[in-house]
Structure 1
Amino acid sequence: MATMTQSIRRSAIGLGMFAVITGGTIAITQALTEDRITEQAARAEAKALFEIIPESAHNNDLLKDTVVLPASNRLAIDGPVTAWIARQDGQPVGMIMPAVAPDGYSGTIKLLVGIDLKGTVLGVRVISHRETPGLGDRIETRKSDWVKDFEGRSLGNPAPREWNVKKNGGAFDQFTGATITPRAVVKAVQKTLIYFRKNKQIIRAQLNKTPSELGPAITPGDLIEQSLNVEQP
């Protein structure tokens, strides 16, 4: 009986030590990789910014020229909206806003939407998603050009009721075997344009401020770090 008790005790101690070591290893690994993940995500977001508004279309420091806009449930973002501003010789020529499609097939889809001062889409890029490989992931530019169909679109092009996929009577293609993902992105872009229209006066006032009047810039890394710490609705 004593031998069995000792054996159980040794097993319990061994399991406890294993749990402590495993937990410590996981914590250390997470600490070592968290900064790297944030940095890689920030680089991907910065790359997307220059794909939407290339450097040839502006001559300011796009990564550092940011404004803070009013919060809105329409964008499915928690709190005020930080947007990047593109300027040519000091004059604003466009902006890039973050947006979230909360109703993707596998969860939220995070986007960047570029808009000029007339409310026309300059470009859209997906920066984060968990959609099905081979189906929903065609929202990525490395998988297809589908997302480029938003370029030149506006709230009047197409008509409001046509901001949907063709399967639902809209103007945008869906993917074979995947309708939910593209439909979610289309709706998110439309809501971003509606946000721009409803807040046009505030946005124009912010855009016309000089960078020195706008306060400290928020970098892509700052936004990525915030998004990692805030659960999207």
Structure 2
Amino acid sequence: MLRNGLILAIFAFFCTALVALVDQQTFDKIKEQQQLELKRVLHQIIPDTLHDNELIEHCILIHDEEVLGIDSPLPSYIASMKEVPVAIAMETVAPDGYSGNIRLIIGISAEGEVLGVRTLSHAETPGLGDKIELRKSDWVLGFNGMFLLSEDDARWNVKKDGGEIDQFTGATITPRAYVKAIKRALVYFNANKDRLLARPANCEVNYQ
């Protein structure tokens, strides 16, 4: 038994060492790919014609669990034209998705117009809730050009709840959570936009 236990311990040690080595060798490549994907998404939700700065380089951290749906800081990215802030891309979380957290990012102009929305990560049901992904459905494009007129703006609900936003056939929980997350972000931005857009860059994005 002692011999077998020793063999297992040695085997486990080498397996752990191999996994750690692979992780170390792929870390930089994974991080690079994540940065490239983030840049791609940012350029989709805030058109290049609106700004002349590199969005990923002007990152600020926002920490507000009630607004962001998570008790940890999330990055936002400020777009500017000739050093004048014109828009922001806010990351936020819908904590009440059907299968847990839905992480998304919202492009908002200085006037409060939704410029674009994209899903960053989720675990929603394939074929139903995953329509929040642009590659599966153009549903997220329906937010483009929308404004939040007030905190009580009834349009910002799915149609089943009396609003103007389509839900998915057989899946209402996912779009309901998604819409609530966008609305919270817009309420927060409209109340704090001058302070947010004036903030200097103060974060380094890390997806570990």
- TM-score normalised according to structure 1 size: 0.78
Tell me the CA shift for residue 133 of structure 1.
2.2
Correspondence for 1:3: none
Correspondence for 2:64: 72
Q: Give yes or no for the alignment of 1:14 onto 2:7.
A: yes
Q: Give yes or no for the alignment of 1:51 onto 2:44.
A: yes
Q: Which whole-Å CA distance do the structure 2 matches of 1:33 and 1:55 have between them?
A: 31
Report which of the two structures shows the higher radius of gyration computed on alpha carbons: 1
Correspondence for 1:188: 181
CA displacement 1:83-130 (0-9 Å, x = unmatched): 222222332221111111111222211111111112111111111222
Counterpart among 20, 24, 34 of residue 27 in structure 1: 20
Q: Which whole-Å CA distance do the structure 1 matches of 2:5 and 2:132 have between them?
A: 50
Whichever residue aligns with residue 9 of structure 1, its letter is L
- Contact 2:70–2:95 at 8 Å: present in 1 too? no
CA displacement 1:9-33 (0-9 Å, x = unmatched): 3322222222222222222222233
Tell me the CA shift for residue 186 of structure 1.
0.6
Counterpart among 125, 129, 143 of residue 122 in structure 2: 129
Tell me the CA shift for residue 165 of structure 1.
1.7
- Contact 1:135–1:175 at 8 Å: present in 2 too? yes
Q: Which whole-Å CA distance do the structure 2 matches of 1:46 and 1:190 have between them?
A: 24
- Same amino acid, percent of matched pairs: 44
Relative to structure 1, the CA distance from residue 215 to residue 106 in structure 2 (aligned partners, 3 Å threshold; closer, same or farther) is closer
Whichever residue aligns with residue 41 of structure 1, its letter is Q
CA displacement 1:131-180 (0-9 Å, x = unmatched): 22222221111111101111111212896233222223222112223222
- Contact 1:44–1:127 at 8 Å: present in 2 too? no
Correspondence for 1:4: none
Structure 1 gaps of 5+ residues are 1-7, 208-213, 229-233
Tell me the CA shift for residue 61 of structure 1.
2.3
Q: How many residue pairs were aligned?
A: 207
- Contact 2:57–2:201 at 8 Å: present in 1 too? no
Correspondence for 1:153: 146
Q: Which whole-Å CA distance do the structure 1 matches of 2:3 and 2:196 have between them?
A: 67
Q: Give yes or no for the alignment of 1:86 onto 2:79.
A: yes
Q: Give yes or no for the alignment of 1:99 onto 2:92.
A: yes
Q: Secondary structure at the match of 1:111?
A: strand
